[in-house]
Structure formats: C-alpha cells, structure tokens
A and B are shown apart, each in its own frame.
Chain A
Amino acid sequence: MNGRDHDRLTIAPDRRPDADQPRWRQDFPIDWPQDEYIARRDFTKFMVLTSFAFAVGQLWILAQNYFRRRRRALPAREIAAIDEIAVGSSRIFNYPGEHEPALLVRLDESRFVAYDQRCTHLVCPVIPQIEAGRFYCPCHEGLFDLLSGRPLAGPPRRPLTRVRLEIRAGRIFAVGLEERTA
C-alpha cells in the first residue's frame, strides 16, 4: 500500500520517516512481520546466551573438581591396634568426621577392609555379615560384597565408599576416602 514495504507499513504518529524515529520503535514494531522478526531475533539471542551460560557452567564444574581434588587431603586417624580386632570381627569408627560412622573388618591375619557405613541407596547404616561375606542393609534388603564393597542385591547401585587404610607399627590408620561410582 502506498508503495511501502509490506513489512514496514505503519507510520509513526509524528509522520516522520523511520530513520528519524527513536531506537525503541525498532524493538517494539506495530507491523506483524516485523514483530515476528524481533521475536525470532530474541529467541536466537536467548539460545546463544543460554548455551554460552551452559558452556561456562561446564568449565566452572571442571575447575571446581580440580580444586576439590587438590584440597581433599584427609587427615590420617588411628582406628585401633591390630591385636584389638580378632579375625572375622568388625569395629565401628568415625571417619573423617565425628559423626560419619565407618566399618573396619578384619578378613584374615593380614587383610583389613573398611567402608563408610552409609548405604549408597538411602544412607541407612549397613550391618556386616562377615560369615556370609557381605554387608546387609536392613532398610530395603540391600547387599554389598565384603571384599570390594560392590552392590550385590537390592536397590543400591553404587559401591560403598571405601576407607583407605594404612598399618603403621602395628596400628591401623584411616588415611583417606575412595568414592566410587561403579
């Protein structure tokens, strides 16, 4: 109409050409095709910025992991003397915090294993069944292997968190945690 572009049909109230109009008129056009264009442009802008934010987020997680690994030097803590624990028996100790119970099991004369007591399903404390060679979680009938801490049955999917042990001069020390996903 009137020889004007069909996408830019509407005339501003002051009837001056588009070039003389304030900047905001371009962002809030009255013409439908222009409005669609702005909406598309906004969508593209949103997509680009969002993916940029995601990328930055990934880098941030990477950096955080790096620093966490460097920070994670847990203190060694004495659990017991070797003689205090009979073969085929277990003891509960707290590691690394005061309220984080873990289980130490003596398998034979020279082999010890220790795991965080919290079940990897819903953190119920697991019960050692040493003769059967497993840990038992009474909440949902979960079973873990005594030797490796891997889930055997029931709802848990991840192995128990292993506590690294060291024997120094006849005494057992917990020296670190080993979180595993499989």
Chain B
Amino acid sequence: MPVPTQMEFFVDPGRCIGCQSCVQACSECDTHKGHSMIQLDYIDRASSTQTVPVICMHCDSPTCAEVCPADAIKRTGDGVVQSARKPRCIACNNCVIACPFGVPKMNTGMHLMMKCDMCYDRTSVGKKPMCASVCPSQALFFGTRAEIEKLRPLSQPINQFQFGNQSISTRVNLMVPKAARIEHLDVTAALHEAPVGRDVLDDLLMDNMTADREEE
C-alpha cells in the first residue's frame, strides 16, 4: 500500500527547539533497524540555539540514486526514495557524498546505506512518521496541505531548491515565511556568507570593548 498522495511532510526549521525527540523516535522505526536517520543540525552553535532537523526530502530526481553504481537505490510509486536494497548495496558511499541535503547514512558494520524513508512501514498504512508523531513544536508536520494552511497562516510551503546549476523539486516541503515571497531556496547561495548571528555578536563585543575603554 503506497503512502497517500495528499499526505505530505512539512518541515518548519523555525519551530525546531532542538529537543532531539525526533532523533530518538526515529531509531524506534523498524525500517532502519534501530538506527536514527535524522540529523539535528546546529545553524551556528557559537551564537545561536537554532537547530534544524534534516530528513530526506525525497527528490523527484534523486541524486543519491543517480550516482549509485550498483543500482541499489529505488523510488516507490508514491515518491518515497527507499533505503538501498541490501542485496545490491556495495557500501561505496557515493550517495552519502552526493546527496545535496546530506541525508543518506552509511552503516559500515552492516555494509549498507540506510536513509530516512519517511517511516515507510508506518506511512504506507496511514500512520504518521515517527518523528512527526513526537515533535512537540510540530517543526516536523505530516498531514495534508489544507491542514498546514490552516495551522500556519503566515508560512508557505516550498519544494523547489537550487544547488548551483541543479534545480530540485522534492516531495517534502519546507515552510518559509509568506512575507519572503520566494519561489525556490538557493541553498548554496548562503555558503560564502558569514552567518548572521556572528556578525551581531561581534558587533556587541566590539561595542562593549569600546564602551569599556571610554569608561577608563
């Protein structure tokens, strides 16, 4: 039974509180054999508590599958990119390196790549993925488009990404503020920018130092 088309994943990084619930819940799922497939990324750990849960975006042109030399990564008809097929995976790490989102994980002990597969054992029978079912702030939300519009009137879901020359549309949506008015996210554009948080912090520090000197 496929995952229903109208059920979609919405990731809202702005709501993430870094509680690690999703990371723990993920390891409970049977399809990845007790290993957590979620990575909780810190945006700029020195100056901010902001975290982002990274789940598979399930691209319509999966780079992981494109680079697989063993033809092991497959996408089911409902658009979910599955973990590598065990008889084929040669543990070469190509997918791990190639994925623009950094999703696939190599289990060298099992000689197998495993990745977030939207908890296929659960979503294919109409349940929510583990992470979405535990997320206390619903930064990971699994439901219909109508539901999310009602719940987040100020945000809009987008699923278009730009990685250099590669444009990707995904099955999973990212919530961005409606005010931003963007059609796609250019992910690599931010690579060479200094993080915003540090600039602010540096300024504060400088201000304090100059203030101290003035007092002296």
Contacts and interface: CB of A to CB of B under 8 A. Distances in A.
B205 to A, nearest CB: 45
B60 interface: yes
B49 to A, nearest CB: 36
Contacts, number: 47
Given A1-B5, A13-B166, A32 B76 contact: yes
Contacts of B2: 6
Q: Interface size bucket, A side?
A: 10 to 19
B76 A30 contact: no
A27 to B, nearest CB: 9
Contacts of B82: 32
A30 B63 contact: no
A44 to B, nearest CB: 19
B61 A13 contact: yes
Contact of A10 (B61, B71, B78, B167): B61
B75 A32 contact: yes
30 contacts: A1-B79, A1-B171, A2-B60, A6-B2, A6-B78, A7-B77, A9-B60, A9-B79, A10-B60, A10-B61, A10-B62, A10-B65, A11-B60, A11-B61, A12-B61, A13-B61, A15-B61, A15-B167, A28-B71, A30-B65, A30-B66, A30-B75, A31-B74, A31-B76, A31-B77, A32-B74, A32-B75, A32-B76, A32-B77, A35-B71
